[in-house]
Amino acid sequence: MTWLKEAREEGNGEVHQEKDNEKLLKELAKQQEVLFAGVQLEDADLIADTDALLYVKVRGTQTVQSKYRLEMELMKSARIRGQKFERYTRLYGFVSFQPTRTLLHITHIGTMEVSLKAYDK
């Protein structure tokens, strides 16, 4: 961002302001492109062979706090990554909170290690 500082020091008013905005937009676009280039999409076959919704409930009585492990169970049978899991299969994950949402990161279904994101509805 040194070019921005240099342009302001030269002090040619609106001409530099316009050039600053153009350079800033190009720089931001370039940074965004680099950021999203590193994001890899999950294997489409795995997504296609997983139920869109998983119905789960908290198992027993637990205190739900941010970054605490939560034990849940399936309320209905579900297919995940091509594998069928029966009702009452245990799920384990971690809880986090946003102002109007409860977020879950499910790490295990039964003994199978997974990485699934979920939220309250």
**Element of type H or E holding 54:** none
pTM for this model (two decimals): 0.57
How does residue 73 score in pLDDT terms, banded at 50, 70 and 90? very high
CA distance 106 to 88: 15
Contact assessment for residue 91 and residue 73, using Cβ atoms and an 8 Å cutoff: yes
Q: In the predicted model, what is the mean pLDDT of residues 72-83?
A: 89
- What's the angle, vertex CA 42, arms to CA 116 and CA 109, rounded to 5? 30
CA distance 24 to 30: 10
